[in-house]
Structure formats: structure tokens, C-alpha cells
Amino acid sequence: MIQTVFPVESLEGSITIPGSKSHTIRALLIASLAEGESLLSSPLDSSDTRSCIALCRALGAEITEEDSAWRVQGTGGIVKPVEDEIDVGNSGTSLYLGAGAAALGKKKIVLTGDEQIRSRPVQPLISSLSDLGADAVSVKKNGSAPVRIKGPLKGGKTRIECPTSQYLSSLLLALPLAEGDSEIEVPLLHEKPYVEMTLDWLDRQGIRYENDDFARFRIFGGQRYSAFESLIPGDFSTATFFLCAAAITGSTITLENLDMNDPQGDKEVAEILARMGCAVTIQKKAITISGKAMEGRVIDMNAIPDALPAMAVSACYARGTTELVNVPQARLKETDRIAVMREELSKCGADIEERPDGLVIRHSPLKGGTVWSHRDHRIAMAMAVGALGAERPIAIRDAEAVVVTVPQFFPLLRSLYT
């Protein structure tokens, strides 16, 4: 699908931000491994979370969909045998976090996904699961999916570098249900807020663990998850695009269903835009932003790699030079987002330079043109936001990629048109 987005003079109004993908998937996995029936209210309904539902059902959970809620009958940590491959589609979170859950089973389970998923590295996680008692291998011996896993996890010691935080979150979610205690040494960790989110879920469950400043963890085995009820909070990663839309167009909009007390890392985007010159007001469950003339900054993106596409677009409209730094893991997402954003923004007239760990963008409002999402939802949404301030429309090929996290993205955006 080609979606053409036209420039606008301004945006106005308020929208409700959909539920967090990261919270929804963690809630689904914990509920699926818990004893009893859990209730998830206002979960995100997208292709990624649908992939996680399919994964959880394959592992034995019963999931019933109601109006704005999902009921999950858990397995009590007993993962059932799976004859067919489990296809997680385009969901990297489901692949990585699901691998840990699969390692709790006593029979072979194979996880795979689409072409993008099959190109993403998973070997560090495979090696750690093997250290901890599972039999885990890359089927094609290339360090990527398909992955064949046979448990059960017994516990033990492992050392794992985490260019993606999802490796560590996978272990943290699975190891409380292992037979024995485990120790994880973490010499490298990117995206720390996502691990904080995982630990927050463990805390809610009363799981016992020790955290030595995120460099070493001790997780006590033989524990269990309990059924729960939870309201899924709004997604700050989704809100990023609308915050940047207001910044680029000089508009005032309100984003509802956002709680700055939530551990999501992308809430930092509001603070970054404020430092660049925008006016940001934080309410109890909402954020109001008024776009103002922005000044370029050096921005450390290590904790918020998913915000790189939107911030790269915003930087085109900021005076001076903006440097997005310390985010090499952005190359390991659905696409190499550093290279892709340089390529696609250049097509629209951006003065942009690629570096190994980020981007340098000089003031260069976009001119318009035709770009490709590379079937990456965040690239599609970022280019749509960039089009709002461009001289001419921007046509986005494969714009349907937004269904991965925000199926209603384009209607939500249009609802703010004045």
C-alpha cells in the first residue's frame, strides 16, 4: 500500500494513545505461565501482539478475547508439547521473550518468523539458555531463527552481552520457573528501561531476585507466577510520533492515556523535545505539547532506540545540528534503522550523515518525494510525521507496516488535522 501524506499548516485536538506493546507482551507471557485466570484490560491489539497470542496458545494457554480485554487461563508453568513450528511473524519481542518460555518445556519447540525475524541475531540468547540447562540451537546454524529449544531450564550460571535488552528480559521472565537458582552476568546492556519494565512485572508478582546494578542478577528458582488483573498503560513509543508531529508543525495537541511514572523509556522523548524548545505540560494521565522553534542537540539514544526514526525526522526541522548518538543497536531492529533513515530522508532532501552508532542531521526541512518503509512500522510512521512539515507530499510505499504496533496510526493522525 502506498500512503501519501500531505503537508499541514497545523494540528489540533487530543487523542488517546493505544496500549503499550511491550507491556502487553510481558503481561501475556506471565499470564500464560501463571496459575489461574488473568484479565488484561485495554491491551494493544496489533499484529505483534496477535503473534504473541498465537505463541502463548501454542504453549498451552487459553486466551479469550472480550471487549477491550483478554482473559488468559494460564498453564501453571507447564508448557505443552508443540508439533508444528511457532511462527511469531514480525514480532522480535515474541521471538526473544518466547524463547525463554519455550525453554521451560520438556519437548522440542521450534520458533520462527518472517524474513526480517529470520535475519535478526539470537545466538547470545541461545547460548545462555544452553548454559542454563536447555538444549537450544539455531536450526540453520547461522545464529538466527528458526530456533529449536528443548528444556527444561535447570538454572546455573551464564554470561551474556545484551545489545538488545530482550535477551535479558527473556531470561529474567523464564528463570524464576527453572528448577534451581541462576546467576546472569551482563557485561553489556543497551535499552536499560525495558529491563526495568520486566523487573517491574517481576516485582508485581513477588518474584525473588537480586540485582547488582544491572551487571549481575541472581534469580531464585522454583517460583511460580500468580493470576492477576492489569490495565495496560498507553505506549510511549507510539506517543513519540505524535509528540514529534506537534513539534514539527508548531501545533498544540494533547496525548491522553500516558503516565510519566511508568517505566517505559520512551517517555524521555517529551523531555528531549522540551530541551529542544517545545513547551511540554505533564498532567496526571496526559501530556500536552506545543511545538516551538527547535534547536539541535546531542541526544544519547541508547535507552530509547525505537525513538530514533521519529527523532531523526524531527531533527531535520531543528535549527543547527542534531546528533543522535550511542545507539548501535538500532541497526539490529526490524531493519538497520540508522542506514534506512539516512537513505530515506536523503531522498527527501535531508542533510544527514550516517555514523556507526547514530546519525548527524543538519537543519534541512524535507522537500517531499517517494520513500520506502522497508516494511518497518517505525520507518513508515516516522516518514508520515516528516511529511507534515514538508514542502510537498511524501508517498510512503508499504505503509501498511504500521499494523505491527499501531493499526490505527493513520486515522489517529488524520483526526488531528485542522
Helix orientation angle between 21-33 and 47-58, rounded to the nearest 10 degrees = 10
Phi, psi dihedral angles at 310 (to 5 degrees): -65, -40
Alpha carbon distance 166, 178 (integer Å):
18
Q: Is 306 a catalytic residue?
A: yes
CA 132 vs CA 20, 172, 315, 372: distances in Å: 30, 12, 44, 42
With both helix axes pointing from N to C terminus, report the angle between 165-174 and 92-102 in degrees, rounded to the nearest 10: 30
The answer to whether the CB of 301 falls within 8 A of the CB of 327 is yes
Q: How far apart are the first and last CA of the chain?
A: 25
Place of cell 521451560: 104
* Three-class SS state of 26: helix
What is the grid cell recorded at 99?
524463547
Per DSSP, the residues of 288-320 read EEE----B--EEE-TT-GGGHHHHHHHHHTSBS
Strand bridging mode 109-112 / 86-87 = parallel
Alpha carbon 64 to its chain centroid, in Å, reads: 24
Output DSSP code: residue 417: B
Dihedral of the CA atoms 257, 259, 265, 270 (nearest 10)?
80
Which one from 306, 336, 351, 376 is the annotated catalytic residue?
306
Residue 211: enclosing H or E segment and its boundaries? strand 209-212
Task: For residue 42, give the amino acid letter.
Answer: S
Mention every residue, 6+ apart, whose C-beta is less than 8 A from residue 322.
Answer: 296, 297, 298, 299, 311, 315, 360, 361, 362
Residues carrying an active site annotation: 306
